Copies of this chain bind each other. A is one copy, B any other.
Amino acid sequence: MKISPEGDLGALGQGMDDGSFLRSVERLRDGVDRRLEQLVPDADQAPLELGAAVRYALLAPGKRFRPMLTLLLARDLGAREGLAVDSACAFEMVHAASLILDDLPSMDDAGLRRGRATTHKAFGEANAILAAVGLLNRAFGVIAEDQGLSLDQRIAISSALSDAVGFRGLTAGQSRDLDRRGRTLSNDEIDLVNHQKTGVLLVAAAQAGAIIAEADSGACDAVGEFARRIGLAFQIRDDLIDVEGGETAGKDLGKDAGMPTLVTSLGVEGARAVMEGYLEAAEASLRTAGAGQGVWRYVQGLFSGRKAAA
């Protein structure tokens, strides 16, 4: 998990010291936060409680990991500055929607998320469900209306997003996740659930960056493979945090107790080794894509920090 300066990775971050790099990442994230504010309904557009629930769920402080994948990969692959912001925001909307749904009483029945009351605890279940549906829907609207992108690009991103959320993606993953409780799954089955619950949206977010940079289809595939591997690594990381706890986890700990994960089947050290393997493979995919000094440096930063990232 080292950056090789002699590699063929993209230029971003190369020659930047850590402070400058972190500030450039911070600027991108601030840009996402500002744009998210603009893209969600004002109080006068949506019913009061629904609008408040949407803003509560979407504008909560967060890493903006999916937007950062889109933005950094677009930049690493040569897209014009700012071109990827709306697509990046669309992926954050879908992520926020998926968190609202995951926490519902009929799903994980969680009371805390990122250290705050979950959306249904704060605004009631009906408004939480409508906020999630509204956010998913808005994501497609934002992509369709993105005048900076060609029609081709908008259709390609929209299609990738729909695949990611669909019946082989997030909705399938969540359904499988609910179904697996108390059952013994093989490691392959665990990987499938993890990939569908987390990975597919990361893949689409990463590929959106490549689409916006007009990368060829080989690079687009490789970037997706990079994201898939990062997603699997992050899931293991989350499971490790769930077992080991930590002051920064910020959500109900032990919620997943009894649910099979790679940590329960391989133990902490075994799971950590698998995670490292995914990270190395992810870096290799990035090299294949001919991209990624910036995004790789960013991902390394997340894994070396203490916080849960996904």
| Interfacial residues, chain A to chain B (CB-CB below 8 A) | 41, 45-47, 49-51, 54, 97, 101, 104, 106-107, 124-127, 129-134, 136-138, 140-141, 144-145, 151-152, 154-155, 158-159, 161-163, 165-168, 171-172, 174-176, 178-179
Q: Which of A41, A137, A165, A175 has the most CB of B within 10 A?
A: A137
Report if A138-B167 is in contact (Cβ < 8 Å); known contacts: A133-B101, A176-B47.
yes
Kindly report how many copies of this chain are found in the complex they form together.
2
Q: Are B134 and A46 in contact (CB under 8 A)?
A: no
Determine the residue in chain B with the shortest Cβ distance to A46.
Answer: B167
Q: Which residues of B contact A162 (CB under 8 A)?
A: 137-138, 140-141, 144
A sample of 29 inter-chain contacts (CB < 8 A) reads A41-B167, A45-B167, A46-B168, A46-B172, A47-B172, A47-B176, A47-B179, A49-B175, A50-B171, A51-B167, A101-B129, A101-B133, A104-B126, A104-B129, A106-B124, A106-B125, A107-B126, A126-B174, A126-B175, A133-B136, A133-B165, A134-B171, A136-B137, A137-B165, A138-B162, A138-B167, A140-B158, A155-B155, A158-B158
Report if A144-B155 is in contact (Cβ < 8 Å); known contacts: A54-B167, A107-B126, A172-B50.
yes
